[in-house]
Chains A and B, each alone.
Chain A
Amino acid sequence: MNQVINLTLNGEPRTLMVACHRTLLDTLRLEGGLTGTKKGCDVGECGSCTIIMNGKLVNACLVLAVEANGAEIITIEGIQRSALELHPLQENFIKYGAAQCGFCTPGFIVAAKALLDENPRPTIDEIRFAMAGNICRCTGYTKIVQAVDETAREMQENGREAL
């Protein structure tokens, strides 16, 4: 059975026809054309499909697309300022080597964005805790902490508006 859903994807209103059993993750990737959100396990264990839905972090693989009817969704493709301007988190993930194979990276950056939106100057432990649901197998997490912490510091120095 299919159903039509209306949602806002990275600021853009979209109408999608979705199968009722299909996850939001598959819908974003197939119907939405947003393949930055990754499928690492499809059962909510790895965090590679982390997105922001109505201001809250969710694993897109654990949400049915029909549940997202009317929702406002931000994916990794919606983090960038503009086509040519990266978000400071993205800049710092590059600078500090917080990404290696890059498969988990969209999930981490989205999770970090949600954290900094809520808590602009988290402690190291708060950073670790906020991203405890995201698995990275390459970096040992050390450089992810650095990248997020540095972004938060910049945010504080430059003022939130600048970011």
Chain B
Amino acid sequence: MTAFSIIGKSVKRNDLIDKVTGSAKYVADMQFPGLLYGKTLRSNVAHARILRIDASRALALPGVKAVLTHSDVPRVLHAGSPHPRSASLSCDQYILDDKVRFWGESVAVVAATSEEIAEEALGLIQVEYELLPAVFTVEEALRPGAPLVHDLGPGGNQVLDPVTCQRGDVEKGFQEADLILEGDYEGGRPVPAYMEPNVCTCQWDPTGGLTVWISTQTSFMVRGIMAEVLGLPLNKVRVLVDHMGGGFGAKQDLFQTEFLCALLARKTGRPVRMEFTREETFLGGRTRHPARIWLKQGFKKDGTITARQARIVYTSGAYGSHGPGVTNVGTTALASLYRCENIHVVGSCVYTNTPIAGAFRGFGVVQAYYALDIQMDEAAVALGMDPAELKLRNAVREGDVAPSGHPLIGHGLEDCIRRGKEEVGWEALRSRERDEHGPVRRGWGLGCEMHGSSAYPGIKEQGNAIVKMNEDGTVVLFTGTAGLGTGTHTVQAQIVAEEIGVTFESVSVVHGDTDAVPWDIGAFASHTTYMGGRVAQMAAAEVKAQLVARAALQQAVDPSQIEVRDGVVSVKGTDRSVSVREVMMPKRGIPAPQFVGSATYHPTKSYSFAAHFVEVAVDIETGAVKVLQVVPVHEVGKVIHPVAAAGQIEGGIQQGIGHTLYEDFQIDLKTGRSLNPNFVDYKMPLFMDMPTIRTVLLETAPDPGGPWGAKGIGEDPIVAIGPAIANAIYDAIGVRFHHYPIKPEQVLAALQEREGGAQ
């Protein structure tokens, strides 16, 4: 086995010095001479035709430089989620339309010399609406004759034709079952709540080129869709991203602001910045898809699953965004995780007049596995089995059909469950004495998941990288991958350094400039290490081959005799060694060689696995649930940077605790108005709410498609934690919840109902 110099070490992340000193420049921190501030007027109705907009008073306000409404902007139908020609695509948006489809949709924008003036101007714009009947729930949207949110698509408020995943014969499977369980499950509407509100600045140069500084996960998608909608060639749109304050999936979309910002800048001839308020991140941002799941499974007495049938309905809100992708990924996820020969699952996605659901960490799978993993726990109870044993028995294995439809390579779920059982002493916990004194009941739960690295097959993935060696032996990696805060550029520098055999410090990374770095699809689908890391390794290997050839020539040996490690080139079996620097240096007036490696990689997909063991305390007097501790066990193939990897898991757990116990962006079902678009009324887990987390990372199922077997990790934790908490609540109080968030009043009501039933 290779001993690694840099891989597996928590080297000093190259983005953090800027961040801890406050010198990191986020888009809103950048100053521009003559900058104008753009603001958006948002609708205060949920579904209406715009009859008239009078902006004359706004335009007359001193300091206001421009106002744009739907009649001032190009009318180009485009996708909010701009992944090219992928299953994730739904083409249903205009920059501004003469209709509004949800409460909070953009109606007009203003550019002014200060934010205050821009805000004042918004209040001076008069909009006359013709109200249209609206649909706020799936039931309303699917009712025969329901008002249509869009005239496009398959009709009947469907975002796409239903997604079906079928194999075997479910009827036969149910006939063979000793136990059949059937239930309805429901997921709420959490939002990503990244700390940096959406922001972009646009500026045009005299040659007609547009520069966009933006907080995005997908700079090349921004470039592509802006070029398409504004009618520009790609070399006239330059997108720049340096630091960004989180995205969690949602910042893959465009938010209409980007086009409007560019158009305001073009109209005024000045740079324009548009920054969301926190409220706007709720109204105009993206949520997770609320979901309803009906799930039915058949089991043999020994726990074998004989059939699985499900219908899952996602709520897309007013636009499709990632609805098609989420529906595909979430629906097919139900065909895996636990083995079953007879499967029939159908997924659909429905338009409603509510804020837009989009991509969010877990991408449809959070909802699907919440249902599946809770029902597995129910089955274990009904069969009188240990849920861990039931899940072990049915865990997917090598060669099983993965959600992507391909045979699974490497399987780590069993390893995660077994290791977690040891870590928490599961057997002893199962047989422990229950403390029934006082109002607090404790319980343990297990939640499992698997998640794909890469969006294949929905998106045919492509990673690109260029690696260059300088004349002193230092190295530059050019990558289009985005740094959301995960530390990926550090991870990729580690990979390049390890592959070539130089020190971590001698590798720097150029990123975030679409004019300078190779094309990248963006940071999502847990694929950045898997794909971006692997292609960086491939490009580095090319440079290494050139370096080795030169060293071999200098040393007059065969290249196979050359070894490079930690910046030192040595000849095997001898004590001869020189530094990489010496190999590269110009000699006798001859310039240093120009070593450039470039690579393109089309990966398919790998799967990471996790089992979360969770202890909760439920107060039966207040209904409050507190998560006391989490032991997340993740199988990720290969750990590149342990601290960064654990950080992904801990952060995902925090968001998943939020989903399961607190977070729900609420919409008034009479008006469509958002009820809690702020951090006081939208409850997230804060410092005092977080449990102890003891992360365990396993490398038992490396995937040949990733760098040294490394797979994704970003999304897994948020999937496993939810059902683990719900199952732990059941263990604590014997009440089964099928939805999230599970709120204290619901816990109390359920306890009272049970007592009432008992009496």
**Which residues of A are at the interface with B, using a C-beta cutoff of 8 A?**
19, 21, 26, 29, 33-43, 45-46, 48, 75-77, 79-80, 86, 89-90, 93-97, 99-106, 109, 128-129, 131-132, 134-144
Collect the chain A residues with CB atoms within 8 Å of residue B644's CB: 97
The answer, among A48, A80, A138, for a CB contact under 8 Å with B21, is A80
**B471 contacts the other chain (CB 8 A):** no
- Judging by beta carbons under 8 Å apart, are B29 and A29 in contact? yes
Given the known A-B contacts A36-B22, A86-B17, A132-B688, are A41 and B278 also in contact in the complex, defined by CB atoms under 8 Å? yes
Beta-carbon contact of A138 and B651 below 8 Å = yes
In-complex Cβ contact of B679 among A46, A101, A144 (8 A): A46
Closest CB of chain A to B194's CB: distance in Å?
6
Q: How many angstroms from the CA of A142 to the CA of B243 in the assembled complex?
A: 23
Cα distance, A62 to B277, chains bound together (Å):
15
Q: How far is the CA of A97 from the CA of B684 in the complex (A)?
A: 21
Within the complex, the shortest CB–CB distance from B274 to chain A, in Å, comes to: 14
Q: Quick one: which of B1-41 are within 8 Å of A by CB? A: 10, 12-13, 15-26, 28-29, 31
B655 proximity list for chain A (CB < 8 A): 137
Find out whether the CB atom of A138 lies under 8 angstroms from the CB atom of B246: yes
A90, B29: Cα distance in complex, Å = 20
- A sample of 13 cross-chain residue pairs with beta-carbon separation below 8 angstroms, ordered by A number, consists of A19-B116, A35-B22, A45-B679, A46-B278, A103-B196, A103-B246, A103-B485, A134-B687, A137-B192, A137-B651, A137-B655, A139-B650, A140-B653
> Nearest chain B CB to A84's CB is how many angstroms away?
11
A140 touches B651 (CB 8 A): yes
Complex: how many Å from CA A76 to CA B21?
Answer: 6
Say yes or no: A137 contacts B13, CB within 8 Å: no
Q: Which of B17, B23, B245, B687 contacts A101 (CB 8 A)?
A: B245
Give complex CA distance A132, B687 in Å: 5
Q: Which residues of A contact B324 (CB under 8 A)?
A: none
> In the complex, A141→B627 CA distance in Å?
14
Which residue of B has the minimal Cβ distance to A147? B20
Q: Give the 3 A-B CB pairs with smallest separation, nearest first.
A: A36-B22, A101-B485, A102-B19
Once the chains are docked, how many angstroms separate the CA of A96 from the CA of B644? 9
Q: Determine if A39 and B13 form an interchain contact, defined as CB atoms under 8 angstroms apart.
A: no
The answer to whether A101 and B246 touch (CB under 8 A), given A35-B25, A86-B20, is: yes
| A17 → chain B closest CB, angstroms | 14
A90 to B17 alpha-carbon distance, docked (Å): 8
User: Nearest Cβ in chain B — how far from A51, in angstroms?
Assistant: 11
CA distance A93 to B20 in the complex (A): 7
Q: Categorize the interface residue count of chain B.
A: 35 or more
B616 interface hit (Cβ, 8 Å) = no
Asked if B244 contacts A100 (CB within 8 A), the reply is: no
Look across to chain A and name the residue whose beta carbon is closest to the beta carbon of B485. Answer: A101
Instruction: Identify which of A19, A45, A105, A131 contacts B680 (C-beta below 8 A).
Output: A45
Is B484's beta carbon under 8 Å from chain A?
yes
Q: Which residues of B contact A140 (CB under 8 A)?
A: 647, 649-654, 690, 693
User: B45 contacts the other chain (Cβ, under 8 Å)?
Assistant: no
Task: Known contacts A76-B21, A131-B687; decide if A102 and B245 are in contact (CB<8 Å).
Answer: yes
Contact B684 A137 (CB under 8 A): yes
Which chain B residues in 643-695 approach chain A with CB under 8 Å?
643-644, 646-647, 649-655, 678-680, 684, 686-688, 690, 692-693
Chain B residues with CB below 8 A from A36, complex form: 21-24
Q: Given A45-B680, A90-B20: A137 and B10 within 8 A (CB)? A: no
A37 nearest CB neighbor, chain B only: B22
What A residues does B646 contact at CB under 8 A? 97, 143
Q: A residues within 8 A CB of B31?
A: 33
**Shortest CB–CB separation between residue B21 and chain A, in angstroms?**
6
Task: Report how far A31 CA is from B680 CA in the complex, Å.
Answer: 29
Shortest Cβ gap from B175 to chain A (Å): 46
Write out the residue numbers on chain B whose beta carbons fall within 8 Å of the beta carbon of A75.
22
- Besides A46-B195, A103-B246, 19 other CB < 8 A contacts? A26-B115, A35-B25, A36-B21, A48-B195, A79-B21, A93-B16, A97-B487, A97-B644, A101-B245, A102-B24, A102-B245, A103-B26, A128-B690, A129-B688, A136-B195, A137-B194, A140-B693, A141-B654, A141-B687
Chain B residue numbers with a CB within 8 Å of A97 are 10, 13, 487, 643-644, 646-647
Query: Which residue of chain B has the shortest Cβ distance to A89 in the bound complex?
Result: B20
Measured CA separation A33–B22 after assembly (Å): 12
Asked if B156 lies at the interface with its beta carbon under 8 angstroms from chain A, I say no
- Give the nearest-CB partner of B642 in chain A: A97
| Nearest CB of B to A19, in Å | 8
Residue B486 interfacial (CB < 8 Å): yes
**Residues of A with C-beta under 8 A to B20:** 86, 89-90, 93-94, 99, 102, 105-106, 109
| A77/B22 contact (C-beta < 8 A), A43-B278, A86-B17, A143-B643 known | yes
| Beta-carbon nearest neighbor of B246 in chain A | A101
CB nearest neighbor in A for B652: A140
Determine whether the beta carbon of A101 is less than 8 Å from that of B484: yes
CB neighbors of A among B678-716 (8 A) = 678-680, 684, 686-688, 690, 692-693
Q: Are A40 and B195 in contact (CB under 8 A)?
A: yes
Q: How far is the CA of A154 from the CA of B585 in the complex (A)?
A: 43
By a CB distance below 8 angstroms, the chain B residues around A109 are: 20
CB pair A94 B13 closer than 8 Å: yes
Check A141/B18 contact, CB under 8 A, given A35-B25, A102-B245, A103-B26: no
B647 touches A38 (CB 8 A): no
Given contacts A86-B17, A86-B21, contact A138 B12 (CB under 8 A): no
In the complex formed, the residue of A with least CB distance to B679 is A45
Q: How far is the CA of A45 from the CA of B278 in the complex (A)?
A: 10
Give every chain A residue within 8 A of B688 (Cβ-Cβ).
Answer: 128-129, 132
Q: Assess whether B193 is interfacial by the CB under 8 Å rule.
A: yes
Given A43-B278, A76-B22, A94-B20, is A38 in contact with B653 using a C-beta cutoff of 8 Å?
Answer: no
Interface flag for B360 (CB, 8 Å): no
